Amino acid sequence: MAARLVVLVSGTGTNLQALLDACADPGYGVRVVAVGADRDGILGLERARGAGIPTFVVRSSEHTDRAAWDRALAEAVAAYAPDIVVLAGFMKIIGTDLLERFPNRIVNTHPALLPSFPGAHAVRDTLAYGVKVTGVTIHLVDAGVDSGPVVAQAAVPVHADDEEELLHERIKAVEHRLLVDTVGTMAREGYSVQGRTVRLGAGAVAGGDAPAARRGGAVR
Ligand code: GRF
């Protein structure tokens, strides 16, 4: 049975689109069961609706405080019983409710090689620092900002004449492939987490200190 994915977005949703395109192949082993957002009027939600996928919006402005918003978000996500939750350009820090419901099952994609350049302006910060190589990190989400265990990374060269948008576009081309490959492997073959070490697929060491993907993949 295909792994159930809930994807959370805040923006244009090109990473979501890459996942949706991959899911068109039954062999991919993943089904996007819902797309959630923290705001309306974004292309990410339109992409989901266009694909006939249920959507939900949980706005922080409609909740008394952050904890209440986090509880509401956790409820909305849990209603779709996901095996994996993907933050694909979701621009809010998630709280303990969601984290505790899906320990080591929330995946974020970040446009830099963590632990370098965490935060909301990774590409801008990368250019400002003057590094020559950057990239993409797919990681499990913990209570910090872009600080959870790394699942996969890929490098992207920085060009001398790069501007933020140009570099981000090149990063995204790599990001789409890496996200699709990584989530697919996690779903189909399982993964293990021991401390900060994530092992993907059949070669994973048994044991681990937290549950991994269940449906469609090995539990280790
Ligand atoms: C991605 O590069 C993601 O890593 C970052 O924001 C971007 C979102 O792009 N956090 P999109 O909405 O998937 O097009």
For residues 42-71, average pLDDT: 96
Backbone angles phi, psi at 34, to 5 degrees: -165, 155
Which amino acid does the sequence have at 76? A
Residue 204: per-residue pLDDT = 58
Selecting among 110, 139, 168, 176, the annotated active-site residue is 110
Beta-sheet pairing, 84-87 with 55-57: unpaired
Residue whose C-alpha is closest to residue 172's, from 34, 12, 59, 54: 12
Question: Which residues are near ligand 1 (CB < 6 Å)?
Answer: 9, 11-15, 44, 88-89, 109-111, 172, 175
The domain locations on the chain are 3-203
The fold adopted by the segment(s) 3-203 is Rossmann fold (3.40.50)
Q: Is the pLDDT of residue 139 over 80?
A: yes
**Closest ligand 1 atom to the C-alpha of 16?**
13
pLDDT, tens digit (0-9, with 9 covering 90-100), for 73-119? 999 999 999 999 999 999 999 999 999 999 999 999 999 999 999 99
pLDDT, tens digit (0-9, with 9 covering 90-100), for 152-162? 999 999 999 99
